[in-house]
Chains A and B, each alone.
Chain A
Amino acid sequence: MYVAVKGGERAIENAHRLLAHERRGDRDLPEITLPQISEQLALAVDRVMAEGSLYDRELAALAIKQARGDMIEAIFLVRAFRATLPRFGATEPIDTGRMQVRRRVSSTFKDIPGGQILGPTFDYTHRLLDPQLAEGFVPDEPAMAAALEGATPRVTDILGRDGLIEPSPQGEADRPVGDLTREPLSFPADRDLRLQNLARADEGFLLALGYSTQRGYGRNHPFAGEIRFGEIEVEFFAEDVGFAVPLGSIELTECQMVNQFKGSATEAPCFTRGYGAAFGQSERKTMSMALVDRSLRARELGEEVLAPAQDEEFVMSHSDNVQATGFVEHLKLPHYVDFQSELGLLRKLRKEFADVQGNEELQEAAE
C-alpha cells in the first residue's frame, strides 16, 4: 500500500526543470515543431491517437513532444486531456464501405472488385537502413495513374453474398452501446465493449496475444480477408441542428480476418470473422486486434477456452497500457511506511528462526 509522503518540493521542482532542459536537448539545434511531428512521425501520432483513444493529430503531436517520444507517457497525457472536455454525444456509426481508400489488400482473393491497392506501405521494402535519409533527402514526386472508378466493397461483403461467411451481428436498435469510459468493466463482456477495449489496447500486448494464437495458444486459422486504410467522413446528429451534421474526415484502418468455419446440425458450415479497427494508419494493431477479437469469441462459438488470448477477463483487464503502467510504475513511489512494517516483520521472523536454530544447536551439543 502507498502512504502519502511530504517534503521534497524543491527537489521535485528542480527535477522537472532538469527534465524540461533535457527534453529540449542541444539548444544549438532547431526546436522540433508540432507540424513536423505530425507530418514526419505520422505513425507515432496515429498510435498515440488510437491508444490515447482521442482523434486529434495536433494534441497527439504535442503529447509526443512533451513525453520526449515516450509513447505510453504520450498516450497517458492524451487520456488525461480527454477528461477535461465535455462530451457532446456519439457520432453516427461510420460506414467503412464508403472509405476513400488509400490502401486496400486482401490475402484471400487476388482479383477483388476495386483491386489490390498497396498505398503507402513498408511491405516489400528491404528493411535496409537508408543513409540518404540521414540528411537533406528530397523524395521523388509520387507516380500518378488514372483514378480507379467504382466502389471498393468489403471482401467480407463479397463472401457474404454466397453465405460463405457469417454475417456481422446486427444488435437491437434500442440497445445502448457499451462504453467502458462510463461504466467499469464487468464480465462476461459483450463484443461491443470488447472491441472498444481492444481499439484502445496496447499494440504490443495485442501483437503478442495475436501471435500466441497463431502459434497454437487458441488457434483460429486466420486469413487476412482484407486490410483497408483511408479517410471516412464522420457525421454527428446534433439535437440543436435537427439533422446529422458532417464533422469532417478521419483516417482509419480496418482489418477483416476470415477464420476457420463452424457449422452445426442446423447450420451449414461457414467462415467466421474477427474484426479490427483503429484511428490512423495502424495496420499491425488492427491485424492483432482482429486475431484477438476472434479468439475472444470462443465462448460464443462453443470453443474450449484454454489459452490466454481466449480469456476475456485476462485480455481486457491487462490490455490498457495507461492502467498497466500506472500500477507497475507506482512501485517506484515512496513505499517507506509499508516497507518499514515489512522490514519489522522480517526482522522478527529472522529472530524467531535464529532462536529456534540456537535452541536446536544447544540441544544437539547437550546430547
Chain B
Amino acid sequence: MNSRNRMLQDENPDVARRRAAMAVLARAASEEIAACLEGIALPAFENLREAESGLVMVRGRIGGDGAPFNLGEATVARAAVRLASGEIGFGYTLGRNKDKALMIALCDALVQSGEFAGVVETKVIAPLRTAHLARQQRQAAQTAATKVDFYTMVRGEG
C-alpha cells in the first residue's frame, strides 16, 4: 500500500472505526463471536462473495525495519456480504474458518449501518475487546514476572 492510501485510512474516522472492529473480531474465537451475535436480531443480508479460504504471503523486513522480504505464507478466510439496506461488509481472518469470516463481514456491514452500529458495538465489539484486553493483560503480567536484572561480575575477583 502506498503512503497516500495509508494517510487516507488514518484520516478517515469511518475507516478507523471499521479497522478497530475488524482487529477485535479477527483476534476473537469463532464461537465467541457467534455467542455475541445471538444477542442481536440480525437484519437480512446476502452473500456478496461466497466465503473462501486462501493464502497471504506474510512479509517481514530485513533487519526488522528495512526493505521487505517474504517470510512465509499464512492461511486466510474471507467473505463479503450486503445488508438489505445496502451496506457492504468484508470479513478477513487468519485461519480457514469461513464461518468466522462471514460473521466478521456481517459485523463490518452492521458497523456501517446507522441502525445497527450502536448495538453491534455494545453487544459484540465491546465485550470481545474487553475479553481480549483481559487475556492480553494476564499474559503481560505473567511476562513481566520473568523480567530479570543481570549483574556483571568484575573479572578476577571472587
Q: Point out residues on A near B: beta carbons under 8 Å.
A: 49-50, 53-56, 58-59, 82, 85-97, 100-103, 110, 115-120, 142-148, 154, 156-157, 167-171, 173, 175, 177-181, 191-193, 195-196, 199-200, 233-234, 236-238, 240-241, 243-250, 254, 256, 273, 275, 277-279
Closest residue of chain A to B52 (Cβ to Cβ) is A86
Partner of A56, one of B70, B78, B96, B146: B96
Closest residue of chain A to B96 (Cβ to Cβ) is A56
> Assuming the A-B contacts A55-B73, A143-B145, A195-B62, are A102 and B95 also in contact, with contact meaning beta carbons closer than 8 angstroms in the complex?
no
Query: How many whole Å from B109's CB to the nearest CB in chain A?
Result: 12
Q: CA of A178 to CA of B97 in the docked complex: distance in angstroms?
A: 30
Between-chain CB contacts (< 8 Å), 15 pairs: A53-B73, A54-B55, A90-B57, A91-B56, A93-B61, A96-B61, A142-B145, A144-B144, A156-B64, A177-B59, A241-B92, A244-B9, A248-B93, A249-B94, A278-B71
Q: CA of A156 to CA of B66 in the docked complex: distance in angstroms?
A: 12
- List the A side residues contacting B90 at CB < 8 Å: 238, 240-241, 245
Q: Which of B78-122 contact A (CB under 8 A)?
A: 78, 80, 90, 92-96
- Whether A170 lies near B66 (C-beta < 8 A) is yes
Partner of A145, one of B64, B69, B92, B145: B145
For the complex of A and B, 8 pairs with smallest distance between CB atoms: A168-B66, A171-B67, A168-B63, A55-B74, A246-B23, A147-B140, A192-B69, A248-B26
- Whether B19 lies near A169 (C-beta < 8 A) is no
Query: How many whole Å from A98's CB to the nearest CB in chain B?
Result: 11
Q: CA of A240 to CA of B111 in the docked complex: distance in angstroms?
A: 17
- List the B side residues contacting A85 at CB < 8 Å: 53-55, 75
- List the A side residues contacting B144 at CB < 8 Å: 117, 144-148
Q: CA of A142 to CA of B145 in the docked complex: distance in angstroms?
A: 8
Interface residues on B, range: 35 or more
- Whether B63 lies near A169 (C-beta < 8 A) is yes
- Asked if B37 is at the interface of the complex by the 8 Å CB criterion, the answer is no
Query: How many whole Å from A241's CB to the nearest CB in chain B?
Result: 5
Q: Mark B116-158, 1 if CB is under 8 A from A, else 0.
A: 0000000000000000000011111111111111111000000
Given contacts A85-B75, A91-B74, A244-B19, 8 further A-B contacts (CB under 8 A): A55-B58, A59-B75, A87-B73, A94-B58, A94-B61, A143-B145, A168-B66, A177-B67
Query: How many whole Å from B27's CB to the nearest CB in chain A?
Result: 5
- Whether A233 lies near B142 (C-beta < 8 A) is no
- List the A side residues contacting B148 at CB < 8 Å: 115-118
Partner of A101, one of B70, B142, B143: B143
> Assuming the A-B contacts A53-B73, A245-B19, are A168 and B140 also in contact, with contact meaning beta carbons closer than 8 angstroms in the complex?
no
Query: How many whole Å from A64's CB to the nearest CB in chain B?
Result: 16
Closest residue of chain B to A88 (Cβ to Cβ) is B54
Closest residue of chain A to B143 (Cβ to Cβ) is A102
- Asked if B39 is at the interface of the complex by the 8 Å CB criterion, the answer is no
Partner of A273, one of B6, B63, B150, B152: B63
- Asked if B31 is at the interface of the complex by the 8 Å CB criterion, the answer is no
Kindly name the residue among B9, B56, B143 whose own CB sees the greatest number of chain A CB atoms within 10 A: B143
Q: CA of A177 to CA of B67 in the docked complex: distance in angstroms?
A: 9
Q: Point out residues on B near A: beta carbons under 8 Å.
A: 1-2, 5-6, 8-9, 15, 18-19, 22-23, 26-27, 49, 52-76, 78, 80, 90, 92-96, 136-152
Kindly name the residue among B62, B137, B149 whose own CB sees the greatest number of chain A CB atoms within 10 A: B62
Q: CA of A308 to CA of B152 in the docked complex: distance in angstroms?
A: 36
- Whether B147 lies near A116 (C-beta < 8 A) is yes
- Whether B142 lies near A56 (C-beta < 8 A) is no
- List the B side residues contacting A273 at CB < 8 Å: 63
Closest residue of chain A to B19 (Cβ to Cβ) is A246
Closest residue of chain B to A100 (Cβ to Cβ) is B136
- Whether B56 lies near A95 (C-beta < 8 A) is no
- List the B side residues contacting A167 at CB < 8 Å: 63, 66
- Whether B23 lies near A233 (C-beta < 8 A) is yes
- Whether A277 lies near B71 (C-beta < 8 A) is yes
Partner of A199, one of B71, B150, B152: B71
> Assuming the A-B contacts A94-B59, A177-B68, A236-B56, are A144 and B142 also in contact, with contact meaning beta carbons closer than 8 angstroms in the complex?
yes
Q: CA of A295 to CA of B151 in the docked complex: distance in angstroms?
A: 32
- Whether B146 lies near A234 (C-beta < 8 A) is no
> Assuming the A-B contacts A117-B146, A256-B64, are A195 and B59 also in contact, with contact meaning beta carbons closer than 8 angstroms in the complex?
no
